[in-house]
Amino acid sequence: MAFIANSLLTIRSALFFTGYALITVFISVTGLLFTSFLPFHIRGRYFVLGNAAIIYWLRICCGVKTEIRGSLPKQLPYVAMAKHQSQWETFYLQWYLFPVATVVKRELFNIPFFGWALRMMNAIGIDRSNPRAAMRQTMEQGLARLNNKYNVLIFPEGTRTPIGTRGRYARSGSGMAIAAGVPVVAIAHNGGKLWPVKGLRIMPGTVTLVIGEPIATEGRESRELTLEIENWIEAQCELIQ
């Protein structure tokens, strides 16, 4: 029975990744051809349709559902700081937080189709090999996006960490929010439980997404604000693992 169950998981996951690749290629090519000349708030809506399609296909193929606790602020923009455990949140949050610019490693821009879509969605590509330059890029480009009324999504740990693991939280997201005078929204989830950091098999189940109350940044210092956000995210992750 275990062999059959594992085989089914493998087949369902393979079917998902096949559809995921086809959706990415289709959205990237058609988006470049027909929306590249449009403003981001219009163009971006087309590209996040791809994210929504991938999340829907994930539910159909692998049985991954989502439960949301909390709600997003109605007033834009804000800086969202989220746990990074899997690929799930990169797709879901770019759709759910739209209009949003996501901070990503610059190397992702070089991936055919996927990287093209990231560029068209005004993602902020940083050079992680140079931390000082990465912080400057994040601040400069992030402030520009916030001034244009885009939200900014940042994964403060910088890379995906296995579920139950705490990475080192960078202060760039808090610093950006303080400089722009916008709130921070902390986001926790357990996506890595179903879609692990490593491995190609996706488990069925429900991802719990927890959205914190907006945190005002006026008069705050980036170090202590980052620590507050880190402690909240990690505490919530422990509760929903």
DSSP for residue 84: -
Q: How confident is the model at residue 126 (pLDDT cuts 50, 70, 90)?
A: confident
For the residues 89-113, what does the mean pLDDT come to?
94
**pLDDT of amino acid 24:** 96
**pLDDT of amino acid 198:** 81
- The pair of structure tokens assigned to 56 is 């829907």
For the residues 44-69, what does the mean pLDDT come to?
97
DSSP for residue 162: -
Percent of the chain with pLDDT over 70: 100
**pLDDT of amino acid 15:** 97
Identify the CATH number of the domain in which residue 207 sits: 3.40.1130
For the residues 25-40, what does the mean pLDDT come to?
94
Q: How confident is the model at residue 130 (pLDDT cuts 50, 70, 90)?
A: confident
- The whole-model pTM stands at 0.94
For the residues 134-149, what does the mean pLDDT come to?
91
99 prior amide bond cis, ω within 30: yes
Tell me the residue range of the domain where 173 lies: 2-240
Least confident of 17-21, 97-101, 132-136: 132-136
Quick: pLDDT tens for 175-213. 999 999 999 999 999 999 999 988 789 999 999 999 999
User: Total structural domains in the chain?
Assistant: 1
Long-range contacts of 231-237 (CB under 8 A, 24+ apart): 232/186, 232/188, 233/81, 233/82, 233/83, 233/186, 233/187, 233/188, 234/166, 234/188, 236/188, 236/210, 236/212, 237/83, 237/163, 237/164, 237/188, 237/189, 237/190
Nearest to residue 143, comparing CAs of 118, 177, 171?
Answer: 177
**pLDDT of amino acid 84:** 95
Average pLDDT, the chain: 94
For the residues 129-134, what does the mean pLDDT come to?
78
- When comparing pLDDT for 215 and 138, which is higher? 215
**pLDDT of amino acid 199:** 76
For the residues 125-130, what does the mean pLDDT come to?
82
